[in-house]
Amino acid sequence: MNENIKCPKCGYPIAENNHRYYCSNKACDFSIVKVLCGKRITKSQIKILCAGGRTAVIKNMISKSGSHFDAALSYNKTDGKIEFVFE
């Protein structure tokens, strides 16, 4: 990944493959899928999430049941998971 995005768990650089963004530190388990609920997560959104911020609202995401919804994303450092933020 060209941009200097740091892992929110350990501070190592974020790398990517075809399916995920992940920490380049092999001992760290941080990773985020590139497509979440039918929407591609961009590098700029990853940069926001890794910096502890919240993305803008992503419209027309698709739930497991097939319903459409709008939500922003944030990264919960306590449990290491992406969270949906509904407004």
Which DSSP letter does residue 6 get? Answer: B
Distances (CA, A) of 64 to 14, 37, 42: 28, 8, 21
- The pLDDT of residue 87 is 80
pTM of this prediction? 0.87
**Taking the domains of the chain in order of start, what are their residue ranges?**
14-85
* pLDDT for the residue numbered 79: 87
Handedness of CA 60, 62, 53, 27 (dihedral sign): negative
CA 62 to CA 44: how far, in whole Å?
21
Q: pLDDT tens across 37-48, in order?
A: 999 999 999 999
Q: Give the pLDDT score at 10.
A: 93
pLDDT at 1 over 80: no
